[in-house]
C-alpha cells in the first residue's frame, strides 16, 4: 500500500448553503464537535479518504461576510489565515448566486486557494435558472464544481478538484477587485508601506490589510497596532485622510463604497452569461410581478396595513362565538362543581382557583387559533419577508436593523407571538448594540398572552369597532417600541448602523397541511402553558387571595347579620322570598370582599393603590398585574378569581366581562389604561430569563423589568388622567 498524503481543507459558505450536508457526506461518522477557543462557536472536524489521500475537513461557521461583526465571521477569518488549509471549499447556493458570491469575492481578496462548490443546482433548476459553471470558473479564475450535496452528486468531482489544487505549489494571487479610483489609489499607496514594513506579512496580503484598514475593520486595526505599534499612527493618519476625502466628495463611507464595488464586480460576473433564466413564466417571474405591487414604495405599505386590518376582522368576527361558548361552558362547570362540593376551601380552590382561573385562559383559545392561522398564511406564502423588507428603511431611522423586524413579528408584532423566540431571533443581528436595542424592545409586541387581556377589555368596553381597536393597539406597540429603541440607541446603546442584505424568497402557495400544522404547534404551546405554569400560578395566587383567613370575630358579624334577617340555616331547604335572596346575596358579597381584602394578596394590592390610583387601577387589578409578571396569561385568570371571590355586583350571566361592566371602578378610560399597562410593563419571567442569557448579564434583565414598568406606568397615567379630565370615562 502506498503511503497516504495528508491535506487539510475547510468548508466556507453562507448559512444554509449546504456546508453541513456536504461535511456529513464527506466525513460520515468520522467527525467530532468541539468549540473554537474562547468563543461559543461550534467547531466541527472530520476526515475522509480519497485517492490515497487523508483529507482533514473543517466545517467553518456559516457567514455572509468576512468582516468582524460577529464571532462567526472572526472565527472563520482567523481559521483561514492562521491554519492555511490547502483548499478552501466555498459552498455556494446556486439558487441564490449573487448573494452567495459576496463571500466568495472576499475569499478571493484574501488570496486563498478557493474551489467553488456550486451546490443546490437542483433547486436552481426547479426555478428555471441555469448556471454555466465553466463560464463562472473562467471569470473568477477558480475551479467551479456543480453539485447536489443532499444526493451526494458531484462530491467525487469536488474531491478530485481539491487534490488537483493541493498539488499546485503556489496559491493563487489575490484577485484584484477594483473599489473605484480613489480607493484603489489609496490601497496601492498604503499597501506599499505595509509591505515595506512587513506588517502581518505572514498572515495577510498587503493590499488586503490596506483595504481592511480603509473599510474600518477595528479588529484588524488592533492586530496591526499590536504587530507594529510605531507604524500605526502614520498609517491611520493616511487612512483617515482618505476617509475624510471620500466623505467630502461622495458623502459615503469607505465601507459602503467597498461593498458596492464588490456587488458591482459580482453583478458584472453574473451578467456575462453565467446565469440563464430558462423561462419567463416561472415562479420568480411571477413573484417579481407580485412584488412590483406588494412592495411598491407607496402602495406596498398601504397593502400591508389593509392586510393586517383584514386579519383582525377575520379573527374577531369568527372567534366571537366559540369564545362565548367556551366562557359559558366554564361558567356552567363552575356552577355545577359549586353545587356538588360542600362549602369550604376545597370548593373555593376548585371553583375560583382552578376552573375560573384556567378557564379564563382556555376560553381565548379560538382567538389565538384564528390569529395564528392568519399569520401562518402570511408566513408560509412569503409575505412576512416582504413586511420585513419594507420596514427596513423605517427601522434604520430608529437605530434598528431590517432583521429586527423578524424578531418583532415573532414576538407578536402582528399579534399573537411570543417574546421568548423573539429574543432568540435577535441572534441574527450582527451589531451588538442593534441587537441589544432589539432585545429590549421586542417584549413590547403583543404576544399571545396579552391577547386575552386585550380581547376581554376590548369586547367589554369597546364593542363598536373591535378590529379597529386591535389595529390601533398594534400601531401603538410598534410606535412605542421604535421610539424607545431610538431613545436607547441615542443614549446607552450609541453606535453606527451595520449594512443590511435581505433576500426575498419567491412567493409560494401555502398548503393547508402546513397552515394547520403551524397553527396547531403554536396553539399547543399556549395550551401546554395554560395546563402547567398557569395552573400552578393560579393555585398559588388563589392561596394568597384566600389566606390569612378572616378572623372568627369578623366572620361572626356577617353570620349575625344573616340571622338578623331571619335567614334559614344552610341545611334546611326552605323557600325564601326574592327580596331576602337579594339581601343575603349582598351580605355574601360583602363577606367575600372582606375575605379578599384581608388576604395577603389583598393587602399587597391595597398597598399598591397608593401609586395605581394615578393609572386608575383598583387593588384587585394590582393583584392581577403582579401575578402577570409570572406569565401574562395570569392577568386574566387572576382578574377572574378576584372578581368572583369578591363580587360586588355580578352581572346576570356571572361572567367576568359582565362583572367588569357593572363595576363602577371600570370604564373605557381605565380599560384603555390597563390595556396599555399590560402591553408595556415588565416582560414575563421566561422572557427576562432569556434576556439575561442572551445579553450575558442579569443587569439587562433588571433593566427591562424596571424600565418597562416605569414606561408603562407613565404612559397609563398620562392616558388615564387625560381621558378622565376630558370626561371620556
Ligand atoms: P449549512 O447551514 O450550510 O450547514 O446548510 P445545511 O447543510 O444545514 O443545509 C441546509 C438545507 O439545505 C438542508 O435542509 C439540506 O438538506 C439542504 N440541502 C443541502 N444541499 C442541498 C442540495 O444540493 N439540494 C437541495 N435541494 N437541498 C440541499
Ligand atoms: Mg451547518
Domains of the chain are 5-166 (3.40.50.300), 181-277 (1.10.287.1770), 299-490 (no CATH), 549-595 (no CATH)
Is the confidence at residue 651, as pLDDT, over 50? no
Most confident of 312-316, 458-462, 576-580: 458-462
Average pLDDT over residues 536-547: 81
Per-residue cell: 489: 440607541
Split at pLDDT 50, 70, 90, the class of 414 is confident
Residue among 580, 598, 599, 600 at smallest CA distance from 588: 580
The helix (H) or strand (E) run that includes residue 144 is: strand 144-146
**Block residue for cell numbers 362565538:** 321
Rounded to 10°, the helix 552-564/578-598 angle is 170
Q: Which residue has the higher pLDDT, 433 or 646?
A: 433
Most confident among 308-312, 468-472, 536-540 (mean pLDDT): 468-472
Compare 537 and 237 and report the one with higher pLDDT.
237
Q: What is the pLDDT of residue 441?
A: 95
pLDDT at 504: 67
CA distance 2 to 639: 80
Ligand 1 atom at minimal distance to the Cα of residue 153: 23
For residues 339-378, b (16+ Cβ closer than 10 Å) or e, as one string? eeeeeeeeebbbbbbbbbbbbbbbbbbbbbbbbbbbbbbb
The mean-pLDDT minimum among 209-213, 435-439, 571-575 falls in: 571-575
Residues with CB under 6 Å of ligand 1 are: 13, 15-21, 62, 119-120, 122-123, 148-150
The rounded distance, in Å, linking the Cα atoms of 134 and 139 is 9
The per-residue pLDDT for 120 is 93
pLDDT digits (tens, 9 = 90+) for 66-108: 988 888 888 999 999 999 999 999 999 998 898 899 999 999 9
Minimum mean pLDDT range among 148-152, 173-177, 343-347, 604-608: 173-177
Contact between residue 616 and residue 720 where contact means Cβ atoms under 8 Å apart: yes
**Which of the four pLDDT bands, split at 50, 70 and 90, describes residue 568?**
low
Q: Lowest mean pLDDT of 20-29, 52-61, 150-159, name the range.
A: 20-29
Contact yes or no for 519/368 (Cβ under 8 A):
no
Percent above pLDDT 70 for the chain:
90
Cell of 515: 397552515
Has residue 638 got a pLDDT over 90?
no
Q: Which of 25, 149, 155 to mutate to test the pocket of ligand 1 (most atoms within 8 A of CB)?
A: 149
Percent of the chain with pLDDT over 90: 26
Is it the case that residue 338 has pLDDT exceeding 90?
no
116: enclosing H helix or E strand: strand 114-119
| pLDDT recorded at residue 575 | 63
Predicted local confidence at residue 677, as pLDDT:
96
Which ligand lies nearest the alpha carbon of 18? 1
Indicate whether 271 pLDDT > 70: yes
Better pLDDT: 242 or 212: 212
Atom of ligand 1 lying closest to residue 15 CA: 2
Helix axes 232-250, 254-271, angle to 10 degrees: 70
Direct distance between the N- and C-terminal alpha carbons of the chain, in angstroms, rounded to an integer? 92
Nearest CA to ligand 1 atom 24: 120
Q: Tell the residue nearest (CA) to atom 12 of ligand 1.
A: 18
Which amino acid residue places its CA nearest to atom 28 of ligand 1?
A: 150
**More confidently predicted of 415 and 469:** 469
Contact 640, 460 (CB under 8 A): no
Ligand 1 atom with minimal separation from the 22 CA? 7
In this structure, which residue's CA is closest to atom 25 in ligand 1? 120
Ligand nearest the Cα atom of residue 24: 1
The pLDDT of residue 530 is 64
Which ligand has the nearest atom to the CA of 149?
1
> Residue 377 Cα, ligand 2 centroid: separation in angstroms?
28
Report the chain's mean pLDDT, rounded to a whole number. Answer: 83
Specify the 3-state DSSP secondary structure of 400. coil
Q: Answer whether residue 645 shows pLDDT above 90.
A: no
Residue 154 alpha carbon to ligand 1 centre in Å: 14
Q: Which atom belonging to ligand 1 lies closest to the Cα atom of 123?
A: 26
Q: Which of 485, 375, 367, 371 is nearest to 433 (CA)?
A: 485
Question: Across residues 249-259, what is the average pLDDT?
Answer: 78
Q: How far is the CA of 89 from the centre of ligand 1 (A)?
A: 15
Per-residue pLDDT, 42: 77
Tell me the C-alpha distance between 401 and 90, whole Å: 28
Higher pLDDT, 658 or 281: 658
Whether the CB-CB separation of 448 and 418 falls below 8 Å is answered with: yes
Q: What b-and-e string marks burial along 600-628, b requiring 16 or more CB atoms within 10 Å of the CB?
A: ebbbebbebeeebeebbbbbbbbbbbbbb
Angle, CA of 435, 438 and 442, to the nearest 5°: 145
pLDDT at 653 over 60: no
* Of 191-205, 447-461, 549-563, 575-589, the least confident: 575-589
More confident residue, 247 or 242: 242
| Residue 707: Cβ within 10 Å count | 16
Q: Which ligand is nearest to the CA of 25?
A: 1
**Single pTM value for the model:** 0.54
Give the whole-angstrom CA distance, residue 429 versus residue 361: 34
Residues 281-320 have pLDDT tens digits of: 566 677 778 888 888 888 888 888 888 778 777 877 787 7
Q: For the chain, give the number of residues.
A: 729
Q: Which atom of ligand 1 is nearest to the CA of 17?
A: 3
Q: Classify 200 as helix, strand or coil.
A: coil
Q: Tell me what pLDDT residue 647 has.
A: 46
How far, in Å, is the centroid of ligand 1 from the Cα of 55? 22
Nine-digit cell at 76?
A: 472563520
pLDDT exceeds 70 at position 40? no
Please tell me the predicted confidence (pLDDT) of residue 247: 74
> How many angstroms does the Cα of residue 35 sit away from the middle of ligand 2?
14
For atom 6 of ligand 1, which residue has the closest CA?
Answer: 18
Strands 42-50 and 53-59: antiparallel
Task: Please give the distance, rounded to the nearest whole angstrom, from the Cα atom of residue 20 to the centre of ligand 2.
Answer: 4
Q: How far does the centroid of ligand 2 lie from the alpha carbon of residue 243, in Å?
A: 37
Q: Which residue has the cell 472576499?
A: 106
Mutate which of 42, 150, 151 to test ligand 1's pocket (most atoms within 8 Å of Cβ)? 150
Buried b (16+ CB within 10 A) or exposed e, 447-459: bbbbbbbbbbbbb
In this model, does residue 678 exceed pLDDT 60? Answer: yes
Which residue has a Cα nearest atom 9 of ligand 1?
18
**What are the start-end ranges of the H helices in 532-629?**
533-546, 552-564, 578-598, 600-612, 619-628
- Is pLDDT above 80 for 114? yes
Smallest-distance ligand from the CA of 150:
1
As a whole number of angstroms, the distance between CA 31 and CA 26 comes to 10
Task: Pick the closest to residue 354 from 342, 366, 338, 369 (CA basis).
Answer: 338
Q: Could you tell me the pLDDT band of residue 515, with boundaries at 50, 70 and 90?
A: confident
Q: How far apart are CA 648 and CA 403, in angstroms?
A: 50
pLDDT range class, residue 646, cuts 50, 70, 90: very low
Task: Quickly count: other Cβ atoms within 10 Å of residue 261's Cβ.
Answer: 17
**Closest ligand 1 atom to Cα of 147:** 23
Cα(19) to centroid(ligand 1), Å: 7
**pLDDT at residue 477, rounded to an integer:** 96
Tell how far the Cα of 222 is from the centroid of ligand 1, in angstroms.
36
Q: Is the pLDDT of residue 572 over 60?
A: no
Average pLDDT over residues 18-22: 91
CB within 5 A of ion ligand 2: which residues? 19-20
The mean pLDDT of 673-699, rounded to a whole number, is 88
Cβ atoms of 43 and 33 within 8 Å: the answer is yes
What is the signed CA dihedral for 293, 295, 301, 307, rounded to 10 degrees?
Answer: 70
How many A from CA of 149 to the centre of ligand 1?
A: 7
Ligand number nearest CA of 89 is 1
CA of 20 to the centre of ligand 1 (A): 7
Residue whose Cα lies nearest atom 10 of ligand 1: it is 16
Average pLDDT of span 442-467: 88
CA of 173 to the centre of ligand 2 (A): 29
DSSP three-state, residue 53: strand
What pLDDT score was predicted for residue 715?
96
Q: Which range (97-106, 333-342, 632-641) has the least confidence? A: 632-641
Bridge partners, 114 (sequence order): 88
Q: How close is the Cα of 11 to the center of ligand 2, in Å?
A: 10
Non-local CB neighbours of 339 within 8 Å, separated by 6+ positions: none
Query: Who wins on pLDDT, 437 or 533?
Result: 437
381-401 exposure pattern, b = at least 16 Cβ within 10 A, e = fewer: bbbbbbbbbbbbeebeebbbb
| pLDDT at res. 68 | 80
What is the best residue among 10, 12, 18 to mutate for testing ligand 1's pocket, by most ligand atoms within 8 Å of CB? Answer: 18
Q: Which ligand is nearest to the CA of 91?
A: 1
**pLDDT tens digit string along 339-368?**
898 888 888 888 877 887 777 677 778 877
- Which helix H or strand E contains 261, and what residues bound it? helix 254-271
Amino acid at each position: 500500500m502506498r503511503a497516504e498524503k495528508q491535506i487539510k481543507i475547510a468548508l466556507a459558505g453562507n448559512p444554509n448553503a449546504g456546508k453541513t450536508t456536504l461535511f456529513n457526506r464527506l466525513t460520515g461518522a468520522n467527525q467530532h464537535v468541539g468549540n473554537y477557543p474562547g468563543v461559543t462557536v461550534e467547531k466541527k472536524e472530520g476526515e475522509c479518504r480519497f485517492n490515497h489521500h487523508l483529507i482533514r475537513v473543517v466545517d467553518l461557521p456559516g457567514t455572509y461576510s468576512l468582516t468582524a461583526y460577529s464571532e462567526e465571521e472572526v472565527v472563520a477569518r482567523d481559521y483561514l489565515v492562521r491554519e492555511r488549509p490547502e483548499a478552501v471549499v466555498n459552498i455556494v447556493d446556486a439558487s441564490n448566486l449573487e448573494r452567495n458570491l459576496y463571500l466568495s469575492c472576499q475569499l478571493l481578496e484574501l488570496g486563498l486557494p478557493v474551489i467553488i462548490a456550486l451546490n443546490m443546482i437542483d433547486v436552481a433548476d426547479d426555478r428555471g435558472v441555469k448556471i454555466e459553471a465553466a463560464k463562472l470558473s473562467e471569470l473568477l479564475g477558480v475551479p467551479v464544481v456543480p453539485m447536489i450535496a443532499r444526493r451526494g452528486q458531484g462530491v467525487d468531482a469536488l474531491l478530485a478538484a481539491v487534490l488537483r489544487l493541493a498539488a499546485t505549489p503556489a496559491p493563487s494571487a489575490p484577485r484584484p477587485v477594483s473599489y473605484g479610483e480613489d480607493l484603489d489609489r489609496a490601497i496601492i499607496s498604503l499597501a506599499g508601506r505595509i509591505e515595506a514594513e512587513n506588517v502581518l506579512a505572514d498572515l495577510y496580503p498587503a493590499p488586503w490589510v490596506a483595504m481592511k484598514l480603509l473599510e474600518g475593520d477595528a479588529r484588524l486595526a488592533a492586530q496591526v497596532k499590536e504587530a507594529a505599534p510605531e507604524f500605526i499612527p502614520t498609517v491611520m493618519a493616511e487612512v483617515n485622510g482618505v476617509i475624510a476625502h471620500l466623505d467630502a466628495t461622495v458623502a459615503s463611507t469607505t465601507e459602503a463604497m467597498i461593498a458596492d464595488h464588490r456587488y458591482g464586480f459580482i453583478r458584472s460576473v453574473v451578467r456575462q452569461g453565467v446565469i440563464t433564466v430558462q423561462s419567463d413564466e416561472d415562479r420568480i417571474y411571477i413573484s417579481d410581478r407580485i412584488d412590483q405591487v406588494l412592495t411598491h414604495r407607496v402602495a406596498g405599505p398601504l397593502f400591508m396595513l389593509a392586510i393586517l386590518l383584514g386579519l383582525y376582522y377575520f379573527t374577531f368576527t369568527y372567534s366571537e362565538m366559540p369564545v362565548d361558548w367556551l366562557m359559558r361552558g366554564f361558567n356552567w362547570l363552575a356552577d355545577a362543581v359549586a353545587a356538588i362540593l360542600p362549602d369550604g376551601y376545597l370548593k373555593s380552590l376548585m371553583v375560583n382557583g382552578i376552573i375560573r382561573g384556567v378557564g379564563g385562559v382556555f376560553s381565548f383559545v379560538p382567538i389565538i387559533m384564528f390569529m395564528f392561522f392568519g399569520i401562518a398564511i402570511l408566513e408560509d406564502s412569503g409575505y412576512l419577508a416582504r413586511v420585513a423588507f419594507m420596514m427596513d428603511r423605517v427601522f434604520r431611522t430608529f437605530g434598528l436593523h431590517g432583521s429586527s423586524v423578524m424578531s418583532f413579528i415573532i414576538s407578536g408584532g402582528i399579534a399573537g407571538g411570543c417574546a421568548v423566540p423573539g429574543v432568540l431571533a435577535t441572534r441574527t443581528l450582527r451589531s451588538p448594540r442593534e441587537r441589544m436595542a432589539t432585545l429590549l424592545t421586542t417584549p413590547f409586541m403583543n404576544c399571545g398572552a396579552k391577547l386575552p387581556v386585550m380581547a376581554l377589555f376590548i369586547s367589554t368596553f369597546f364593542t363598536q369597532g373591535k378590529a379597529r381597536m386591535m389595529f390601533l393597539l398594534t400601531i401603538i406597540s410598534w410606535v412605542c417600541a421604535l421610539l424607545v429603541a431610538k431613545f436607547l440607541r441615542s443614549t446607552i446603546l450609541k453606535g453606527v448602523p451595520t449594512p443590511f442584505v435581505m433576500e426575498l424568497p419567491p412567493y409560494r402557495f401555502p398548503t393547508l397541511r402546513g397552515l394547520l400544522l403551524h397553527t396547531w404547534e403554536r396553539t399547543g404551546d399556549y395550551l401546554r402553558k395554560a395546563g402547567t405554569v398557569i395552573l400552578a400560578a393560579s393555585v398559588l395566587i388563589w392561596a394568597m387571595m384566600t389566606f390569612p383567613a378572616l378572623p372568627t370575630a369578623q366572620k361572626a358579624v356577617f353570620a349575625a347579620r344573616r340571622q338578623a334577617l331571619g335567614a334559614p340555616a344552610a341545611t334546611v331547604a326552605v323557600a325564601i322570598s326574592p327580596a331576602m335572596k337579594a339581601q343575603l346575596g349582598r351580605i355574601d358579597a360583602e363577606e367575600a370582599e372582606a375575605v379578599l381584602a384581608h388576604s395577603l394578596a389583598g393587602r399587597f394590592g391595597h398597598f399598591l393603590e397608593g401609586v395605581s390610583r394615578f393609572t386608575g387601577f383598583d387593588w384587585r387589578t394590582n393583584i392581577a398585574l403582579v401575578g402577570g409578571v409570572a406569565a401574562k396569561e395570569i392577568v386574566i385568570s387572576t382578574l377572574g378569581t378576584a372578581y368572583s371571590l369578591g363580587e360586588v355586583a355580578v352581572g346576570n350571566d356571572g361572567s367576568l366581562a359582565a362583572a367588569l361592566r357593572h363595576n363602577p371602578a371600570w370604564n373605557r378610560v381605565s380599560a384603555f389604561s390597563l390595556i396599555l399597562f399590560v402591553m408595556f410593563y415588565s416582560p414575563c419571567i421566561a422572557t427576562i430569563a432569556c434576556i439575561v442569557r442572551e445579553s450575558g448579564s442579569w443587569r439587562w434583565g433588571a433593566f427591562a423589568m424596571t424600565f418597562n414598568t416605569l414606561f408603562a406606568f407613565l404612559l397609563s397615567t398620562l392616558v388615564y388622567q387625560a381621558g378622565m379630565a376630558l370626561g371620556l370615562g
